[in-house]
A and B are shown apart, each in its own frame.
Chain A
Amino acid sequence: MGAGRLYAAVAAGGFRRYATYRAATAAGVFTNTVFGLILVYTYLALWSEKPHLGGYDQAQAVTYVWLGQALLSTLAIGGGGVEDELMERIRTGDVAIDLYRPADLQLWWLAADLGRAFFQLLGRGVVPFVFGALCFPVYLPADAGTWAAFLVSVGLAMLVGFGIRYLVALSAFWLLDGTGVVQMAWLAGFFCSGMLLPLNVFPGTLGEVVRALPWSSLLQAPADLLLGRGDPVRTYLFQAGWAAALLGAGRLVQSAATRRVVVQGG
């Protein structure tokens, strides 16, 4: 009970921290919208040449683009989650402060990241999506059940996204400067989550592999549920499996990292 209230307070703090920077949010909405427009016209060109590419019709492809823009910052696929701050704290040694608190490091940062993700979903996700839905022909399900199934999948995607980024952040305990790892994670995330092109489009073994990787939980999985192409139970199991594996790995790495903690400086 007490622990739940603590992490709820951390999540609320995470939400409000990001809510503080209104100009940054406005700039982010603008960027997502412009980026969405570029992708939409690219997709429209592609889908008029190859209709039903990846099993999507044109409206579904357009919806997929705006969904991607809505989830890009929410799931921090292009970076910008709490991992940046955590890595900086590991590098400077401030992580020592986090360690002597009577709280679990991983749950603390997970809560902070969920708070951030909810803010980004509302603050940066909704507007570009609504803009896209108003200006382009889109595919939107009529029944509330599909939307609910979609939102559950987004929640699981938040866990998977954090699981990946937490591992990336912990690498700083060994590397100190994690810039290279962050860039690799950013590239992998962008491609393997389906942010450039839906993973359904990729043929053969490449397609099979990217669809099995954890990143496909981020955008592809919720998108397929919204577009009425996925089975919720199977999708949830896939996402929850990756979430459990990644968070479990995060715990193992965390205990190894804190055991060898030679806090930098001071």
Chain B
Amino acid sequence: MSDFIALEKVEKVFEVRRKTGFLKRERREVRAVDSLSFTVARGEMVGYIGPNGAGKSTTIKMLTGILTPSAGRLRVAGIDPARERARLAHRIGVVFGQRTTLWWDLPLIDSYRLAHRMYRIPDARYRENLDRLVDLLELGELLDVPVRQLSLGQRMRGDIAAALLHDPDVLYLDEPTIGLDVVSKAKVREFLRELNAERGTTVLLTTHDLQDIEQLCSRVMVIDHGRLVYDGPLAGLHEAGESERTLVVDLERELPAVEVPAARVVRVEGPRQWLAFPAGQSAAPVVAHLAARYPLVDLSVREPDIEAVIARMYAGKTVS
């Protein structure tokens, strides 16, 4: 089975009632997800991004079965999530960065013992998985600490372990690095990379932190207003977003804006000038042209900021 997750024209419409006067209510339909189709193969690690309210969480909730699609077909591991939520639960792991699945007042280990019973994990496998996760996520000293006393980074690692004890085939991560410091973020990312590489766990990652995507995902899906606006490799996002690279040149002295074919000056500040050119194009001809005609002191190339690329993408779609 190559298509591990398959969505076909999935829609989710919420009915919102709005107060329009004393005792008067207006019914309005809100299309959170609109004709969404995509497939994810087993072992893929996919970034799922979009602005707030784009329909990301709604999609995740439909994939876990806690929301029923209004229309369309949805399968995870061959299971219809809304119909067989409990059966599917044994095959998926979910981590919400802003919520915890752990037992707040009790030591971390108690939440794991509960998962042992809840997912009916055979004893030997439970111990093996627990040892491995404790080792990889550096949880050894935290097992006997009540969850409420853990730092955010520790709790996050604890939550990730809890989601993986039952060897799920697919892991949904919703903002797993939100609020974490640089070191904790790096630890979480490194762990996820290893998990995907060694165990072939399919990962669907929702995040606002594009570094998560850059470091982990070879494929990225962008959703906006409930529709998929981009699905492909991360590099392709630049083209799709019509992004540009920037060449910063330092000249010997102040000069009027330089003239270079296939590039345009976007800013001049004393002897320093900024030139923009399409991201898909090599910087070499531009540099050669400049070096031949102008007194060049120094130069540097700035890669397009993916965040800006995506922002431009959202803006474009919103207007149209």
Contact = CB atoms under 8 A, between A and B. Distances in A.
B86 A102 contact: yes
B66 A5 contact: no
Contact of B113 (A9, A21, A259, A262): A9
Interface in A62-93: 92-93
B94 interface: yes
Q: Is the interface of A mostly helix, strand, loop or mixed?
A: helix
A105 to B, nearest CB: 11
A21 B90 CA distance: 33
A17 B107 CA distance: 10
B119 interface: yes
B114 A99 contact: no
Contacts of A17: 103, 105-106
A97 to B, nearest CB: 5
A181 interface: no
B174 A266 contact: yes
A263 B66 contact: yes
Interface in B170-205: 174
B117 A99 contact: no
A103 B61 contact: no
A262 B16 CA distance: 10
Nearest to B90: A102
Interface string B62-81: 00111110000000000000
Interface of B: 14, 57, 61, 64-68, 85-87, 89-90, 92, 94, 96, 98-101, 103, 105-106, 110, 113-114, 117-120, 146, 174
13 contacts: A5-B117, A10-B114, A13-B106, A17-B106, A20-B106, A92-B99, A93-B99, A97-B96, A99-B85, A100-B85, A101-B89, A102-B86, A266-B57
Interface of A: 2, 5-6, 9-10, 13, 16-17, 20-21, 92-94, 96-97, 99-103, 258-259, 261-263, 266
